[in-house]
Amino acid sequence: MRTNGVPPEENFADQEERLDDLLPGDVLDFWMDESVVIQTVLRCWETSDSGKVEWRWMFLDDGSLLEVSPDGLYRYTEHRVLKQGTALYEEISAQDGALVRFEERVREGTSGRRPVHITIDEKEYRITSTGTVGADRVGAEPEPMSWRYFDKNPDENVYFGLVDVENEENVGLGLWTAHVCLSFGKELERTDITAIYRNREK
């Protein structure tokens, strides 16, 4: 996941066959899994003092979310929407909530020494990144409610990364628009995608 809008030295999109130009209707084969069809592509960007970073979020027809970013490849298979007014929503997004505390510590340079944690379904997660995102959608509306309400002003769309404290192979992605959606999954290797079939009839 992106670390506060700073691109890494190596660009993942340049490795092997590109994944950042896929469109709805294209088909992906995953290792030891069924073929899936891309239903939605969100072309995303974030602008900061370090420049502009671009990535893709893609919803597949099995409900999972594929992220293709400069930091790597992630697949999130579980989604949980937190509506406004619920306890966990307030814990994350309130004026004294977890996101505000994390951003303050990043500015102070203390986020490594003073990590911010949140508990979700009895698991402890550490916030690893946050930022704002602009997005253009191609294809169908995503199923999770929060993903349908991107504001035209990128500053109104907040994303954040999570990692499971006990098992850092388990990662999370949060999106805060009208509500908060938490998505959970793992990082993939490029070889986990064994074939790409592009729909040339688009």
Q: What is the pTM of this model?
A: 0.88
- Output the CA angle 199-181-66, nearest 5 degrees: 30
Mean pLDDT of 182-201: 92
**Domain range enclosing 145:** 12-197
Q: What is the pLDDT of residues 39-95, one digit of tens each?
A: 999 999 999 888 899 999 999 999 999 999 998 999 999 999 999 989 999 999 999
pLDDT score, position 110? 87
Instruction: Say if 25 falls within a structural domain.
Output: yes
* N-terminal to C-terminal alpha carbon distance within the chain: 30
Pairing of strands 35-48, 134-139: antiparallel
Q: How many Å apart are CA 44 and CA 64, to the nearest integer?
A: 18
When divided into structural domains, the chain yields a total of 1
Instruction: Say if 7 falls within a structural domain.
Output: no
Instruction: Say if 79 falls within a structural domain.
Output: yes
Q: What is the pLDDT of residues 103-153, one digit of tens each?
A: 999 988 888 889 999 999 999 999 999 999 999 999 999 999 999 999 999
Instruction: Say if 6 falls within a structural domain.
Output: no
Instruction: Say if 192 falls within a structural domain.
Output: yes
Token readout for 70 is 């400069």
Going through the chain in order, the beta strands assigned E by DSSP cover: 27-30, 35-48, 51-60, 65-69, 72-82, 117-120, 123-132, 134-139, 158-164, 170-176, 180-188, 193-197
Q: How far is CA 20 from the centre of its chain?
A: 14
Q: How many Å apart are CA 139 and CA 179, to the nearest integer?
A: 21
Instruction: Say if 2 falls within a structural domain.
Output: no
Q: How many Å apart are CA 126 and CA 163, to the nearest integer?
A: 5
Instruction: Say if 4 falls within a structural domain.
Output: no
The answer to whether residue 3 scores a pLDDT higher than 70 is no
**Helix intervals (H) in the chain:** 87-93, 98-108
Instruction: Say if 70 falls within a structural domain.
Output: yes
